[in-house]
Structure 1
Amino acid sequence: MSLLSDMPDSYNLTMDLNLLRVFDAIYAARSISNAADRLGMSQPACSQALSRLRIELRDPLFERTAGGVKPTERADRLARSVQGGLALLDEGVREPDAFHPQTSRAELKLHLTDIGEMRFLPRLVQTLQSRAPGIKVLASPWPQKDIAEALHNGDLHLAIGFLPQTQGTQKIELLKDRYALMVKAGHPLIRGRGRSGLSTRALSRFDFVTVRSHSETQRILSVLQLEERIRLRVSSFLALPAIVRSTDLAVVIPKAIAQEFEPREEFLLLDADLPQQDFTVSLHWGRRHEHDPFLRWARALVIELFKQ
């Protein structure tokens, strides 16, 4: 992968390699001031470097927005070459040792929501205990808008989930799922109708519980104009089994998660007419670090365990 693939022949790479690092930082941060902080330079110096690169490439590269800057199409093309090229340069300078999972004491930093932790951590940690017993896993939820930059900067190593707002990363699809409606067995609005699907009109008769950390379920209810039917918002999916079991509240929930609730006979999982109910869970990582031996091994392990 050449750093010159999207540059004019006259561009002097050896003289201005630092300009590419400035570009790379701005592209990841979507902010000149944040990029300057990350690089340890002043904002005027960062802006001056960007101006030089704009002149060299004859493109504005970034346009101002209310919250920072957004890349032009030329910048998007350039970023693919620059990120991969800088990763190879950094790897060559560092000359990282080969990764030895049985003796490693590395920390693996993951983005997972609480629902992702329920779904992925048990099997992942069980496998690590046998294959790489010294590795420590640090899992935490990040705002989707910050994930790409965190992966790029190494604050995160991998992100797993349905992350439609996370752009500019490398990713691979792990599995597909769909949203359904879960209620308690014997719910008064379900008696006599079996497990047939629910129409939008039928859904409007339910009261709902939602999870604050899972915005997609709240978006679904908003699209259905059922926000006024939300009676309870909780902070974690872990609270849902007891709440649904003991009340008449319904919850919109990924099927794969609902099927793990025990005892199963106390819950009903119903198909419903929900907008955009099918979704994909993907593994995301940053281009800058994809050649790192440890992270390459970690990606392969996640894909081995969870790709359907």
Structure 2
Amino acid sequence: MRFGIVVTDPEDWTARAIRDGFSRQGAESVYLNFSSLAARIGPDLRLRGDGTDLLELDGLVVRDLGRSGSADVAFRFEALSALQELGLSIVNPPSAISRAANKFATSIALHQAEIPHPRTLVTTSLSAAAEFVAEHGRAVSKPLFGYKGRDLLLLTSDDPGPLQEILAKSGVVYLQEFLESTAPTPRDIRVFVVGERVAGAIYRVAPQGSWISNLSQGGAPERCPLRDEMEDLALRANGAVGTVYSGVDLIETVEGLAVLEVNGTPSGRGVFQAWGIDAGEMIAAHILERLKV
């Protein structure tokens, strides 16, 4: 069996963990950087990446697609969809990656599955956005297609200026009510899901003076004991978005846990640092089991 691992940085921790997981279970894998993706359409359809014929692989694991522009991203997603339609096993499926990457689509999926989620507004209207912030007092602005905690803003009704800047730059604003955490320090919970199992959970503790807890923004991973409510919410959120593996972010509130986001291309480094849990090997094992190897 031979698999492709779609990743931009060959030193990426999670990509290496998945590769090593395949190797320990007797399967081969190769890194694929989709910046060299090429589709030849003629009498036959040929899709190649980094010199590899993608249709000769047994499956793809998507760690990150990379990007250089909106047209490029659309091409890469359409290529994944074409490969899936041609029978290639892809984890996560293109539809799930797209749904997880688009925070509006994620919010809709969580709402329809009746999963606790912050009140949210997505709008192109400055007045609607200002009204939402005023209604809740504080709101978090997130890029609709953001990642790694970048460009998060905490907005208050006292200063509408940032809303104008966001709309001028992006044309749309995604707002969530700011939920007060019951935790002793600013943190959230990242639950790592693989298939129908929860691999483990960590607290992501924000650095001093910050409310942003993403590990890529200086947050620290700490052990989080699993509770039934965490597992239930994480598995339901994973199912709602359609991901095979995911990082489900939860926040502790006076009303219980709520799901903030579902990451369809999560890093497994934090749960390994905190617990020694190898999510990469679990992903590889799950894929091989799905293919009944």
TM-score (norm 1): 0.22
Greater relative CO, 1 or 2 (CA 8 Å, sep 6+): 1
Structure having the larger proportion of residues in helix = 1
TM-score (norm 2): 0.23
Structure having the larger proportion of residues in strand = 2
